[in-house]
Amino acid sequence: MYDYLIVGAGYAGSVLAERLARDSGKKVLIVDRRPHLAGNAYDHPDAAGILVHKYGPHIFHTNSKEIFDYLSQFTEWRAFEHRVLALVDGQLLPIPINLDTVNQLYGLDLDSAGLEEFFAKVREPVAHIRTSEDVVVSTVGRDLYEKFFRGYTRKQWGLDPSELSAGVTARIPTRTDRDDRYFGDTYQSMPRHGYTRMFENMLDHENITIQLNTDYRDVKDAVPYREMIYTGPIDEFFDFRFGKLPYRSLEFRHETHDREVFQPRPVVNYPNDFDYTRITEFKYLTGQQHPKTSIVYEYPRAEGDPYYPIPRPQNAELYSQYQALSEDTPGLYFVGRLASYKYYNMDQVVGQALTLYAKIAQKKGGWKNTAAPVPA
């Protein structure tokens, strides 16, 4: 008899499996329908022996010491600050927009104070920021919005920024100095031996049984268990009872090139040209030395594996119907990016899973209950 059947061996499922087994001595069966651990963070050596991320670039960043310390039990780290260029008007310019972006784009020589004045002139005041268009035009004005955000967003989401909640483009800061890092978080690192190795270490426990290539629907009636933790798409779990929740998908085109370096930064974004949104060169992320180099193109798709929940009010409303249903089912927990229908980064999913673990442990009483951080 298993105490828990956990569906999905990504961050959400693996953190809960680890905590329940190691901290509470529970017996856990974790299943994933894919042939590997780590969910969308899965990495592996490709045919050339270069470590690549199968489902697109994954860069770890967090402001939470608790989350960083938790994962540090399972990996060493390699410090890595991510940097991105965007191809705009024939030039490769830093994104997030900063002092150099504006000076190079318009041939100006502003300092930070000058850039603040520039933004003050071009920004369009918006009384209530609701959409992803509002966020950008109210900060940097319409021309920069159109050059850097409108085309990229329409391509990535199949929607205009005015149709998406503010949080989508609000992920990208605006800077008036020359800081060209993509993230501003306190901790920015890559697992030294890759994500998959970190997950293997996390799940290496005598109380954890792993079954890959297994849909939970094929085992749920055959295997005895007390409670279930589900980390897949929430609408699928309930057989799309209230209708399908929209997810955005991607097609990944992986290539290896017979030269040492492909592009000048780890990622180059293509907001206005080509069908892909960005190209990632993996050796920058991992620090691997190799005479060849491997890259991945991302082509946004309406159909395919669900990668992104689509943040907009009508989808949040549909999700809340599923959420209400999920809260009505004792002994069943929903956690993670697809089960919560939230555009979460890896660290936020770790935080959400640790918080759920603390709740479960507290409810049962009598277990050793380690403090859980609040999700970032």
Q: How far is the CB of 217 from ligand FAD (least distance, A)?
A: 6
Q: Which tokens is 324 given?
A: 């209400």
Q: How far is the CB of 85 from ligand UDP (least distance, A)?
A: 9
- The entry of ligand UDP, ligand FAD, none near residue 86 (CB within 5 to 8 angstroms by kind) is ligand UDP
Cβ-based neighbour number of residue 30 at 10 Å: 29
Distance CA 201, CA 18 (A): 10
Nearer Cβ to ligand UDP, position 278 or 283?
A: 278
Q: Which tokens is 317 given?
A: 């409303």
| CA 310 to centroid of chain Cα atoms | 13
User: Does the N-terminal peptide bond of residue 96 adopt cis geometry, omega within 30 degrees of 0?
Assistant: yes
Torsion on CA atoms 61, 63, 66, 72, rounded to nearest 10: 30
Residues in contact with ligand UDP, shown as a per-residue x/- string from 238 to 257 under the rule CB under 6 A: --------------------
Q: Does 185 bind ligand FAD (CB under 6 A)?
A: no
Burial class (CB in 10 A: 0-12, 13-18, 19+), 81: middle
Identity of the amino acid at 89? D
Q: Does 8 bind ligand FAD (CB under 6 A)?
A: yes
Residues in contact with ligand FAD, shown as a per-residue x/- string from 31 to 70 under the rule CB under 6 A: xxxx----xxx-------------xxxxx-----------
Distance CA 376, CA 374 (A): 6
Cβ-based neighbour number of residue 305 at 10 Å: 13
Distance CA 284, CA 266 (A): 5
Nearer Cβ to ligand UDP, position 5 or 310?
A: 310
Residues in contact with ligand UDP, shown as a per-residue x/- string from 59 to 98 under the rule CB under 6 A: ---------------------------x--------x---
Residue whose C-beta lies closest to ligand FAD: 39
Of these, 28, 30, 168, 245, which contacts ligand UDP (CB under 6 A)? 168
Nearer Cβ to ligand FAD, position 88 or 338?
A: 338
Distance CA 14, CA 349 (A): 11
Q: Does 148 bind ligand UDP (CB under 6 A)?
A: yes
Q: Does 267 bind ligand FAD (CB under 6 A)?
A: no
- C-alpha dist (Å) from residue 289 to 39, 50, 238, 265: 26, 9, 47, 16
Q: Among 11-19, 194-202, 262-270, 365-373, which window interacts with ligand FAD (CB under 6 A)?
A: 11-19
Report whether 51 contacts 288 (CB < 8 A). yes
Q: How far is the CB of 135 from ligand UDP (least distance, A)?
A: 9
- The entry of ligand FAD, ligand UDP, none near residue 218 (CB within 5 to 8 angstroms by kind) is none
Q: How far is the CB of 270 from ligand UDP (least distance, A)?
A: 9
Any residues with CB less than 8 A from the CB of 345 and at least 6 apart, and which? Answer: 61, 62, 376
Q: How far is the CB of 38 from ligand FAD (least distance, A)?
A: 7
- Looking at the DSSP assignment, which residues form a beta bridge with residue 294? 256
- The entry of ligand UDP, ligand FAD, none near residue 294 (CB within 5 to 8 angstroms by kind) is none
Identify the CA nearest to 155 among candidates 271, 320, 51, 26: 271
271: helix, coil or strand? coil
Q: Which residues bind ligand UDP (CB under 6 A)?
A: 86, 95, 148-149, 152-153, 156, 168-169, 171-172, 269, 271
* Binding residues for ligand FAD (CB under 6 A): 7-13, 31-34, 39-41, 55-59, 215-216, 231-232, 250, 307, 336-338, 344-347, 349
